[in-house]
Amino acid sequence: MTPYNAVEKLIDKYSLADVLIMIGDICNEKAAHIQVNWQDEGLAIKWNKAGQIVKRSVKSLPKVSGIK
């Protein structure tokens, strides 16, 4: 299975919105891990910002069955 197919299966199983929220959460968790274990404030801020942007994008999705 390719990474593309794996992501497609996740979207089919949950929804695009749910998968994006999960990705945003992973970005935020990665930021916390970097901050604690690597003490790299700049990189942690970038991962946190990425998580916020991904989660915010969910609000822009069209209201179509299977997306939200």
In a domain, 38, yes or no: yes
Asked if the model's pLDDT at residue 67 lies above 90, the reply is no
Which residues form the domain of 43?
3-60
Q: How many angstroms separate the CA atoms of 62 and 3, rounded? A: 25
- 64 — pLDDT class (breaks 50, 70, 90): confident
Q: In this structure, are residues 30 and 47 in contact, taking their beta carbons and an 8 Å threshold? A: yes
pLDDT digits (tens, 9 = 90+) for 36-62: 999 999 999 999 999 999 999 999 988
In a domain, 67, yes or no: no
In a domain, 13, yes or no: yes
In a domain, 68, yes or no: no
What are the angstrom distances between the C-alpha of 60 and each of 13, 14, 34, 54, 56?
21, 18, 29, 10, 8
Which sign does the torsion angle of CA 58, 62, 67, 68 carry? positive
Mean pLDDT of 18-41: 97
In a domain, 65, yes or no: no
Number of structural domains found in the chain = 1
